A and B are shown apart, each in its own frame.
Chain A
Amino acid sequence: MIPARLAALATHRLTRGQLPVLAGLLLPLFWMLVTQGPAVLLRLALIGAITLGWQILFARLRGQGFGLEGIAAATIVALLAPDTAPAWQLALGTSFGVVIGLLVFGGHGRNILHPATVTLAFLMFSFTSEAYRITPELPIWTLAPAALLLLASGQANWRLLLGALIGLIGLGWLQTVPEALEMAGTGLFWLVLLFLLADPVASAATNASRLLHGLLFGLLTVLFLQTGTAISTLVFATLMAAIFAPLLDAMAIAVNARRRERRHGR
């Protein structure tokens, strides 16, 4: 239950839009800027411009409005893409991600996958360069403000995070994969968890299926980790889990409908 005075804040439009997401991305971006130099800003400018271009084109063609979700996705891609990635590859990947992952469905809120997940998966799947498999170094504390903002504003559901941690640590311990436990302490893991997995649109839509979605992500991460690098593991585990989210929703809905039929049919 929410105290009455906090209800006004919780229903405020600024806590519901992309402002908490963008604010949460500021510290990781700043860290990258300090450790890697201004290249990250160049990537952000390129990816952001391409994303915005597609969004404006679709806004013109289809008359669908758009918010700041494109900039948020562009920032995540800019953080996770390697320094050495050629501009044309980034442009191609971003175009694919934002059009196929977001805009063809009718914009933010109607998509089923996060555009940044689609972009990163496209880049890693299409180009064999080792650079895409290098894990960016990000300390875990840089994600603390994001965790606070996204959980407090109700955008990232704690059930997803809990399910993911149980799946990762549980299977990691059972199969004795030490990398799985180490991964839970990295900033990269939490970045993917908070922004890509727990994105309110691209994740499961009921409380029960949110827990299952998180659990599935955790299990897939441990399985993929035994053959791949950290970043490709996380991206493909997110992608697979998000593809299965509607199925998990359908299961939760079936259980709910069954329970309702039993209650009514007496």
Chain B
Amino acid sequence: MTVRRVNGFDPWFGPVPAYGAPTAIIPRTIALLGDDTPGLRPVFAVETGAPVAAGETLFVDSKRPELRHVAPVAGTVRDIRRGPRRSFDRLTLSVEAGEAKAFAIPAPLERDTLVALMIEAGLWVGLLARPFGHVPAPDTQPAALFVTAIDTRPLAPDPAAIIGAHRAFFERGLAALRLLTPGKTYLCQRRGAGLPAVEGVVEAGFSGPHPAGLAGTHIHYLHPVGSGDTVWHIAYQEVIALGHLLATGTIWQHRVIGLAGDGTLRPALVETVPGADLHDLFAGRLIDGPVRLISGSPLDGRPTRYLARAHHQASALRHAPIAERRDWLGLAATWLARGSGALIPNRLHEQAAPPGLLPIPFLRAISVGDIDAARRLGALEFVEEDMALLAHADGGAADYGRMLRRVLAELETAR
């Protein structure tokens, strides 16, 4: 196994949490979020008040049938909420004891049958394609498939420990995923993680601080994509879920996530349900005083009440002091640090940049919307999460992820 050392830096959000064995928490409500699949136009298969079994279809995109979402647990549909411009905000379920839908597992497993099964069981939306970072179309073939089994986000739990507890499912899922691509399947892990070796899967080791664990970094080193090829990537817990489906015929109704941050009493690893209510997860674990709950890491998570599909951690962070009550020292610091709001280059930008990127010219290009320069500098290699560390290094005032998405949207329409 070749190991690549990645440059970067670990942003400080408190000491590295010591997670123990996971404790089980079943939340009272869960939700499926529209933000998990941007641009989704759902057609609902259920109505408010209807009981659903685990694995039963809840909604499908009106144009792309592969964007199918199923109930992660049995329960009753409580609420379907719309966002701005008739977009889909979230579907809330109350968790109740109930049946799990049984899926017929095709044997022998081939690409077509695997794809159909993954779509039917709502697992297809766990795949993401580069460039652009959307859920891929099932009739396309990726040049390579990346399994992300390393997480370098601040306060993230160690994937190796979680995979170790579900080893058989992980191996089964990984073996099946090889069918999706005619090219190589890469298992990207931390150096010395000791993940199970599966025949035909190429192991790739990475070491160093964030962004060593991002799919964009792995793709950059192993199979760079630009205007030509497309590669897909999938997170390790989605692989476990696929293995569980293939082994038992029912969907995996669990996710293992880390709860940490300076707003918690102590970090905890919990085995819970996808889309769990963060209020239920953090109940009894928070400090006295105002905190905010974030699905995902403090670096690239988003403030929401429910756990997002792609996140393996949730953070509780103390609120910053309220502005009106700031002391004279804070006011003086604000006055000394003010500026024109333009990008001021710093050595930290080079530290925080994803590999191969010239950060200052790139950030200038995306902040003024210079599509051509941004493409030349590698915009197609990145998505929002690759920009999170740069935005943090810059003080967090500029949302480089959103600027990049605007550039990507224009590049996509120009294709």
Contact = CB atoms under 8 A, between A and B. Distances in A.
B37 interface: no
A171 B359 CA distance: 32
Interface of B is mostly: loop
Interface in B325-362: 333, 336-348, 350-351, 356, 358, 360-361
Interface in B393-412: 393, 395
A205 B347 CA distance: 10
Nearest to A155: B346
B208 A1 contact: yes
B347 A7 contact: no
Interface stretch (A76-84, A92-100, A107-115, A233-241): A107-115
B96 to A, nearest CB: 43
A193 B286 CA distance: 51
Given A206-B358, A260-B226, A106 B342 contact: yes
B227 interface: yes
Given A107-B342, A253-B376, A257-B377, A17 B225 contact: no
Contacts of A207: 350
Nearest to B220: A263
A65 B335 CA distance: 12
A154 B347 contact: yes
Nearest to A66: B340
A260 B347 CA distance: 23
A169 interface: no
Contact of B340 (A4, A19, A106, A260): A106
Given A257-B376, A260-B356, A67 B346 contact: no
A64 interface: yes
Contacts of B351: 1-2
B356 A108 contact: no
Contact of A154 (B8, B228, B229, B346): B346
Contacts of A110: 340, 342
A200 B345 contact: yes
Interface in A45-100: 64-69
Interface in A127-167: 153-155, 157
Contacts of A7: 9-12
Contacts of B333: 13-14
A64 B344 CA distance: 15
B346 A65 contact: no
Between A2, A14, A64, A201, the greatest number of chain B beta carbons within 10 A of the residue's beta carbon is seen for: A2
Please indicate which of the listed interface residues B9, B347, B393 has the most CB atoms of chain A within 10 Å of its own CB.
B347
B392 interface: yes
B27 interface: no
B196 interface: no
B209 A1 contact: yes
Contacts of B348: 2, 10-11, 154
A6 to B, nearest CB: 8
A138 B401 CA distance: 46
A65 B337 contact: no
B9 A2 contact: yes
B51 interface: no
Contact of B361 (A16, A69, A157, A205): A205
Contact of B358 (A16, A66, A253, A261): A253
A137 B189 CA distance: 58
A142 B227 CA distance: 53
A186 interface: no
A16 B345 CA distance: 9
A5 B13 CA distance: 9
Contacts of B17: none
A261 B358 CA distance: 15
A200 B344 CA distance: 7
Contact of A109 (B224, B225, B344): B344
A249 B346 CA distance: 16
Contacts of B369: none
A108 B342 contact: yes
Contacts of B9: 1-2, 4, 7, 10
A97 B12 CA distance: 40
Contacts of B22: none
Interface of A: 1-2, 4-5, 7-8, 10-11, 13-14, 16-19, 64-69, 106-110, 153-155, 157, 200-201, 205-207, 249, 252-253, 256-257, 259-261, 263-265
29 contacts: A1-B8, A1-B208, A4-B9, A4-B10, A7-B9, A7-B10, A8-B11, A13-B333, A13-B395, A16-B395, A17-B339, A18-B336, A65-B338, A65-B341, A66-B340, A67-B340, A106-B340, A108-B340, A200-B344, A200-B345, A201-B345, A205-B361, A205-B364, A207-B350, A252-B358, A253-B358, A253-B361, A257-B376, A260-B377
Given A65-B338, A69-B339, A265-B228, 18 more contacts: A2-B10, A7-B10, A11-B11, A11-B348, A17-B337, A18-B339, A19-B336, A67-B339, A108-B340, A110-B340, A154-B348, A205-B345, A253-B358, A257-B377, A259-B356, A260-B226, A260-B376, A264-B227
Interface of B: 7-12, 208-209, 224-229, 333, 336-348, 350-351, 356, 358, 360-361, 364, 376-378, 392-393, 395
8 closest Cβ pairs, A-B complex? A109-B342, A154-B347, A264-B226, A107-B340, A67-B339, A8-B12, A205-B360, A13-B337
